[in-house]
Amino acid sequence: MSSERQVGRGLAGALLALLMTVAGNVAAEAPTWRGLDQLTDDERAQLDFATNTPRDAKIDYLPAEAWPFKAPYTAEEMGYRAAEFVHISRWPHSLVDVFGVITSSGYISQGAGVTYIHQNVKPGFESYMHDLPAGQVYSRWLIYSTFPPQTEAEQQLWVPYRTDVKNPTKMEFYVYAPSLRKVRRQPQPRRDQRFPDNAQTFDDVVGRDPWEFSWELVGADVIAHTVRFPNTRPTLFINVPGRGYVETQTADIKPMGDTYPFYRADGGVDCWVVKATVRDEVLPGYNEHTLIFWLDKHYFYPLRMEKYDAKGQLMMVEVRNAKQENPARGEFGYAAFMSNYWFLEQDLLSYSVHDGHQPREWTAEQAGMMFTPEFMRRQWLVEPVRSQTLIDDPEQYYLRPELYEGRFPELRKFTLDPALRARVDAQEAAGRLVFESARSSTP
């Protein structure tokens, strides 16, 4: 056999091996998402595709079926179940909220505040819906700043309301500055407006009511990761009430916490995917026209949310890690532990960690004294709650959420600016954020 034929056969064999490897990788990376036409019979049995269902006899914009609904579920009922799990949990508690934002150039700003939550109704979304008349105060949140040091004793009092079409006021808002020794009432922020130099909006924190949207089933998917840590931050100390600071491997932090019983064998979480479109007659001019949610299939916890504007452009991605923080509430006791937000237009990344979360039973005396504007003048931190989850260096910041490119392509259409695309690709290659400036070394 000639040497030329031997070389040719060698190249052919190498090419065949390469093709087989590629084919194997493609098979291993089979799509996790499925549209409605690809669902299994068991999945379809869990779903009610009706869009016009009976209404509640007393409140005509609520579903008639008794809470917490039963299978088969409509998309609207899934949206209502997801509303149980807002950023600030629907039960009395205390925690320290550690938060921050980083720019594409690596500038990082962080803060922390001890937060006390009181509610005027029983815990849970059912009480919010049925036990509280629209236009009445729903809850009170007292926030005492502890970091950075120059903000010590600055305070805020948020007073959310139960809203509906005729009662659109969402919140009263008070601030206290020690330098002025005055409490000032602030105008309610525009609900779809981002906080200054942050990725999240007012509604991302306070929550949205499901009757403000029209709901549609999209399909099913699997989420393997939500909040992602860089390879520069292998451990984290978490404040666990009763145990102190617990050193935790960041690779071991799961999307639904350690006690969630429905993880797949590969560690992923099976999710329903639903679309919520703003009802213009309820929220006229609302900028966040479409929301897409990934809800775990069993409790309907929102592990991922995407926002799209009226032109269909992707605006923001939010991902969460949850934990079972209130075992007495069973499946409704899951709470936001870590939340990451990515505002694509400016490539802003914000985070929030709810550390030291502890359910509370405030006495009538505590509730009447603490959760008032006048109390802030005392500059009294009732009970300190501490955290060690602040980020020491920009290169230890959380990764941008995954884009899930290719999933539900008829619904999710977006393009990235070339510079942003380059940073995203560099992040994935390096396993950490790579910034615009020369501050960070190249991967």
CATH of the domain at 320: 2.50.20.10
**SS3 readout for the chain:** CCHHHHHHHHHHHHHHHHHHHHHHHHHHCCCCCEEHHHCCHHHHHCECCCCCCCECCCCCCCECCCCCCCCCECHHHHHHHHCCCCCCCCCCEEEEEEEEEECCCCCEEEEEEEEEEEECCCCCHHHHHHCCCCCCECEEEEEEEEECHHHCCCEEEEEEECCECCECCCEEEEEEECCCCEEEEECCCCCCCECCCCCCEHHHHHCCCHHHEEEEEEEEEEECCCCCCCCCCCEEEEEECCCEEEEEEHHHCCCCCCCCCCCCCCCCEEEEEEEEEECCCCCCCCCCCEEEEEEECCCCCEEEEEEECCCCCEEEEEEEEEEECCHHHHHHHEEEEEEEEEECCCCEEEEEEEEEEEECCCCHHHHHHHCCCHHHHHCCCCCCCCCCCCCCCHHHCCCCCCCCCCCCCCCCCCCCCHHHHHHHHHHHHHCCCCCCCCCCCCC
Residue 94 belongs to a domain:
yes
Residue 68 belongs to a domain:
yes
Cα–Cα distance for residue pair 89/246, rounded to 1 Å: 23
Q: List phi, psi (to 5°) of 267.
A: 90, -5
Cα–Cα distance for residue pair 432/440, rounded to 1 Å: 10
pLDDT number for residue 189? 85
CA dihedral 13→14→17→21, nearest 10 degrees, is -170
What type of residue sits at position 42?
Answer: D
pLDDT number for residue 221? 98
Count of domains for the chain: 1
What count of other Cβ atoms lies within 10 Å of the Cβ of residue 258? 11
Residue 225 belongs to a domain:
yes
Residue 190 belongs to a domain:
yes
As given in the structure block, the two tokens for residue 136 are 């009445």
Residue 437 belongs to a domain:
no
pLDDT number for residue 320? 98
Cα–Cα distance for residue pair 301/274, rounded to 1 Å: 12
Cα–Cα distance for residue pair 392/379, rounded to 1 Å: 28
Residue 387 belongs to a domain:
yes
pLDDT number for residue 31? 87
pLDDT averaged over 10-residue windows placed end to end, the chain, 443 residues: 41 38 43 95 97 94 97 98 98 98 97 97 96 96 97 97 93 94 92 92 96 98 97 97 96 97 97 97 95 98 97 96 98 98 97 98 95 95 96 97 96 92 97 76 40
User: Residue 178, preceding bond cis, omega within 30 degrees?
Assistant: no
Residue 441 belongs to a domain:
no
Chain-centre distance of CA 163, in angstroms?
22
pLDDT number for residue 29? 53
Residue 21 belongs to a domain:
no
The residue behind tokens 């009395």 is 92
CB–CB of 173/195 below 8 Å?
Answer: no
Q: Which residues contact 69 (CB under 8 A, 6 or more apart)?
A: 63, 77, 80, 81
Q: List phi, psi (to 5°) of 169.
A: -65, 125
Q: List phi, psi (to 5°) of 144.
A: -115, 115
Angle (CA) 422 424 426, round 5°: 65
Give the range of the structural domain holding residue 397, as residue numbers without chain letter: 34-430
Cα–Cα distance for residue pair 25/174, rounded to 1 Å: 56
